[in-house]
Amino acid sequence: MPTLETLSADTDINTLLAILDRDGALILKDAASADQMAALWQEVKPYVDTTELGGDVFSGHLTTRTGGLVARSAGCRELILNKTIDQLCHEFLHPNCSRHQLHLGQVIRIMPGQTKQAIHRDRWAWGKYLKGVEPQLNTIWAVSEFTKDNGATQVVPTSSTWPDDHRCTDQEIAYAEMQPGSVLVYTGSVFHGGGENVTDKDRIGINLTYTLGWLRQEENQYLSTPPDIAKDLDPKLQDLIGYTMGSYALGYYTPPEPPGEGPGIVGPEYALGRKVSGSGLGDASLYDDLVNS
């Protein structure tokens, strides 16, 4: 059975990138403290406890998926802005974008009796249309212990370049076994899936995914975190959930004001009361990225 590389959270970024390029996945040990994860769990537990079970085989009839984490949890906001993950996103995604964004945030609880999820690629959120570009970088943070028996994520190392119709065998699958505070990092192209829980306890993880700023997000962040909530967030987090231009001339809007009132074309920051430099189509750096790419 293959295994996943487990490294310290302060490992050199270039080393991490080389492993992601080779294996498509790795584990960062103790990227957050156990106390941090326990406090975070207390914030999200009331929402998780009232989340409905999955409605189909893929989402899991004994699995819950709780979203809206940016608006609901200060601890989740801290994880989203994790410096190591942010640096990885810049190095991994920015060859194909000017800005990256948060694609989704979910607490995934795999309950006793849940069977294995079908092996898949997360990049299939956009169908199988994107070719020749890696669209996303994903993380699953361990809130509870992850073991093979309780549903640790199935990951198929080195599968990022395999054809979409490959059928993975048990001998090709590794399991992301880790302690609370550790995080699985994996690409949008690596084959993976939720594990089977044959224990009597829940397996709880937080799935935070980042993607190219010019793609539609899986979780609609504008509806999950509307302007009246987003206006009070860290500006960097505001940008990550989409309240900024994706690139030059991508994401502007015209406020629906009466004739002669309000601006014409502005960036999404305007909805939060933020002023930015440049025209409504974006600042000069975004224009330079566009024309010089």
Question: What confidence tier does 1 reach under pLDDT thresholds 50, 70, 90?
Answer: confident
Which residue, 169, 181, 242, is CA-closest to 6?
181
| pLDDT score of 137 | 98
What's the CA gap between 117 and 124, in Å, rounded? Answer: 15
My answer on whether 33 and 101 are in the same domain is yes
Residue 293 has pLDDT above 70, yes or no: no
My answer on whether 167 and 258 are in the same domain is no
Which residue, 184, 34, 204, 42, is CA-closest to 107?
204
Query: Where is pLDDT greater, at 277 or 133?
Result: 133
Residue 277 has pLDDT above 80, yes or no: no
* Weakest-pLDDT range from 34-43, 55-64, 259-268: 259-268
Q: pLDDT per residue over 153-172, tens digit each?
A: 999 999 999 999 999 999 99
* Weakest-pLDDT range from 17-26, 65-74, 258-267: 258-267
Which residue, 73, 150, 145, 59, is CA-closest to 105?
73
pTM, entire model: 0.94
Tokens of 7: 């490294």
Q: Residue 152 carries which DSSP code? A: P
The parent domain of residue 48 ranges over 6-212
* For residues 76-83, average pLDDT: 97
What's the CA gap between 276 and 266, in Å, rounded? Answer: 9
Per the domain annotation, does 203 fall within a domain?
yes
The neighbour count for residue 52, using CB atoms within 10 Å, is 8
* End residue of a domain, out of 212, 231, 261: 212
My answer on whether 129 and 234 are in the same domain is no
Domain count, the chain: 2
* End residue of a domain, out of 181, 212, 243: 212
Per the domain annotation, does 129 fall within a domain?
yes
Tell me the three state secondary structure of residue 290: helix
My answer on whether 242 and 138 are in the same domain is no
My answer on whether 195 and 269 are in the same domain is no
| pLDDT score of 264 | 84
CATH number assigned to the domain comprising residue 22:
2.60.120.620
| pLDDT score of 90 | 97
Per the domain annotation, does 1 fall within a domain?
no
- Average pLDDT for the chain: 94
* Weakest-pLDDT range from 107-121, 127-141, 200-214, 272-286: 272-286
* For residues 226-231, average pLDDT: 97
* End residue of a domain, out of 212, 232, 267: 212
